[in-house]
Amino acid sequence: MNSEVYGKYEIIDAHAHIFPEKIAENATENIGHFYGIPMDGNGMSKKLREAGSKIGVLKYLVCSTATAPHQTENINIFIAKECAEHSCFYGFGTTHADSEDLEKDINQIISLGLHGVKLHPDFQKFNADSPEAFKIYELMEGRLPLLIHCGDNRYDYSAPHRIRKIHDNFPKLKILAAHLGGYQQWDEAVECLPGLENVKVDCSSSLAFLTPEKAANIIRRYGIENCFFGVDFPMWSHEDELVRFLKLGFTEEENQKILASNFKDFLGL
């Protein structure tokens, strides 16, 4: 990292995944196989902090996804434990549309002091706007923000039009639509998501696939104030993602908003 850039900005990584050490390698490999992308890290908390320190990350939104309902409780306890041990972490819990007791899951997340809920409909295999998922949003609206994976050309579970339907039915639910609102479906995303109140986006797992010009145009469609910097660890290198971001050509003030200020406003930090 150029020494002139390092330390110039306050940086928050608004999208990172961590796993218990005993399963971190396998979990990371599974993500790589799912997307056909080589992983940069191994998903351990220590590795995340080491990677982020190379660009001066001060805070991280950390999360993990329950691919089966029975995993929910242990994942939430793990994330809360990591947050208690590392003040740089802001944890989001998880639940599953097939959970037998969604209210219990959401109450556990709140009681553990976690800051929101992470869902990945493609991993979890439910439509983001299904009646089962709507039960989750009913319990969350006005209480917890939602970080949701969006988009994939191979599936329709988390397509941008489904995210739009979530917003239309739960307008007070704060939504962070990952991957600029639609991984591999960025054109559809910018047709149906910009301008929606309470819908924000992060730029994780996007900048490596878009030209700087297109990425910058997409972010401007959403509005500079509605975009967060995120790396999607362990998928990408913090250093590489920051280099890609700084090529977008925003002003220093705009860079600082995306790199940290917008996320702080979102969580009321």
Amino acid 6: pLDDT: 61
Domain boundaries, given as residue ranges, for the chain: 11-267
- Taking the C-alpha atoms of residue 248 and residue 216, their distance in angstroms, rounded to an integer, is 5
The residue written with tokens 């307008």 in the block is 171
Q: Residue 57 has which token pair?
A: 């990350």
- Taking the C-alpha atoms of residue 1 and residue 232, their distance in angstroms, rounded to an integer, is 19
Amino acid 27: pLDDT: 67
- Taking the C-alpha atoms of residue 190 and residue 168, their distance in angstroms, rounded to an integer, is 16
Amino acid 109: pLDDT: 98
Q: What is the CATH number of domain 11-267?
A: 3.20.20.140
At 32, the pLDDT band (50, 70, 90 cuts) reads: low
Minimum mean pLDDT range among 29-38, 70-79, 178-187:
29-38
What average pLDDT does the segment 89-106 reach?
Answer: 97
Q: Residue 118 has which token pair?
A: 């992470």
Amino acid 2: pLDDT: 52
Strands (E), 136-250: 146-148, 175-177, 199-202, 227-228
pLDDT digits (tens, 9 = 90+) for 127-143: 999 999 999 999 999 99
Amino acid 75: pLDDT: 97
Amino acid 31: pLDDT: 75
Helix (H), strand (E) at residue 267: helix 262-267
How does the average pLDDT of the chain come out, rounded?
Answer: 94
What average pLDDT does the segment 72-94 reach?
Answer: 98
User: First and final CA of the chain: distance in angstroms?
Assistant: 28
The residue written with tokens 């992308």 in the block is 37
- Taking the C-alpha atoms of residue 15 and residue 107, their distance in angstroms, rounded to an integer, is 23
For residue 196, pLDDT over 90 is answered with yes
